Structure 1
Amino acid sequence: MKMIVGLGNIGKKYENTRHNVGFSVVEELANRYSVKFDQEKFEALIATTFVNGEKVLLVKPTTFMNDSGRAVGPLMNYFNIALEDIIIVHDDMDMEMGRIRLRQKGSAGGHNGIKSIIAHVHGQDFKRIKVGIDHPQQMTVVNWVLSRFSGDERPVMQTAFDHACDALEYWLAGNTFMNTMNRYN
């Protein structure tokens, strides 16, 4: 079983904000597989599909971003999912807008959602797809991550979401994550 978790903040107020790019990616992937987030369990919305005979959970935590681990840890334990079968999709301010970067594991890098997940799963050996949102130039970090993309930025970000979904589908098709990183980084 695999679990792909998109990080974001739940609610209309936060829809389509920079901080919610993880939600955008898993929603796009759910559209590709024609599944809906119709199950709620352990503070998360879940869409379920099967790829190559393997069950895949697409997850949007309903906690705030900084408490994402409260959903991820219990889901991992309940479904008995190995850490190496989890991918977390999240925003990254230290990357150029629209770039994606896949990583095998690593530290939180200052991302509070990732810090929470590391604390709740007791390790950092889970895969990540980081989606670049740039660093704010003339506003606070909080205002930046909670702002929406401009008209010029939207197509750039849609390309990033598509690219991230392509990478996820490639991995789900049975390719190693190392091969997926080599192809999509």
Structure 2
Amino acid sequence: MKLIVGLGNPGRKFKKTRHNIGFFVIDELLQRHKWKLNNSKFEGDYSIEHFDGEKVILLQPQTYMNLSGKSISPLMDYFDIDVDDVIVVYDDLDLPTGKIRLRQKGGHGGHNGVRSTIDHLGTKDFKRVRLGIGRPTNATPVIDYVLGKFPKQETTAVTDSVEKAADAIEAWIKGKPFLEVMNDFNQ
């Protein structure tokens, strides 16, 4: 069983913000396969699906970003999911908008949702898909920037990165070793 977690903030207010790009990837996978987040438990909305012979859970924590681990850890415990079978998808200020980067493990890099995930799982050893959102180019505070919406001129780059992230996740679910997926999709 695989667990795909998209980090973001719940509610319409945050729906199209940069910080919710992890949710965008889950939404892309749901749309591609006509799946729905039809369960609400573990402080998250999730769906249990089958893809290419593999059981897959897609999760959007509803805890707000900084508490994401509070949703992920109990769901993993309940379904007995090993950390090797988890991918966490989230925004990254240090990557330009439109770029994606996959990693097998690592620190939180200042991302509070990842920090919470590490704290609640007790390990840094989970797979990640990071989607670039760039940094503010003016005096905009980072919090305002990540909670802001993408400008229209970035729509194509954002859509492309979300689709590539979903493609990478599907390749991994189908059984391709994660290192090979990284080699194929890291930009």
Q: Shared fold (TM-score greater than 0.5)?
A: yes
**Residue matched to 1:29:** 29
Partner SS for 1:125: coil
139-148 vs 50-59, greater mean Cα deviation: 50-59
* Structure 1 residue 140, shift from structure 2 partner: 0.3
Distance 1:66 1:158 in 2: 25
Q: Say whether the 8 Å CA contact 1:33–1:49 is kept in structure 2.
A: no
Distance 2:41 2:177 in 1: 29
* Structure 1 residue 54, shift from structure 2 partner: 1.8
Q: Say whether the 8 Å CA contact 2:18–2:133 is kept in structure 1.
A: yes
Root-mean-square deviation (CA), in Å? 0.7
Letter of the 1:58 partner, please give it. Answer: L
Distance 2:83 2:13 in 1: 32
* Structure 1 residue 169, shift from structure 2 partner: 0.8
TM-score scaled by length of structure 1: 0.98
1:177 lines up with 2:187 in the alignment: no
Structural mapping, 1:14-163, within 5 Å: 14-138=14-138, 139-163=140-164
Distance 1:123 1:114 in 2: 11
Distance 1:142 1:30 in 2: 28
Distance 1:156 1:176 in 2: 26
Distance 2:162 2:143 in 1: 22
* Structure 1 residue 34, shift from structure 2 partner: 1.1
Distance 2:50 2:41 in 1: 19
Residue-by-residue CA offset, 1:19-52 (whole Å, 9 max, x unaligned):
0000000110111121001111100100221123
Distance 1:137 1:151 in 2: 16
Partner SS for 2:155: helix
* Structure 1 residue 75, shift from structure 2 partner: 0.6
TM-score scaled by length of structure 2: 0.97
* Structure 1 residue 137, shift from structure 2 partner: 1.6
Superposition misfits of 4+ residues, deviation over 6 angstroms:
none
Percent identity, please.
46
Letter of the 1:72 partner, please give it. Answer: I
Partner SS for 1:131: strand
Distance 2:151 2:62 in 1: 26
Distance 1:62 1:80 in 2: 21
Runs of 5+ in structure 1 lacking a partner?
A: none
Q: Say whether the 8 Å CA contact 1:43–1:61 is kept in structure 2.
A: yes
Letter of the 2:167 partner, please give it. Answer: D
Q: Say whether the 8 Å CA contact 1:92–1:132 is kept in structure 2.
A: yes
Q: Say whether the 8 Å CA contact 1:104–1:125 is kept in structure 2.
A: yes
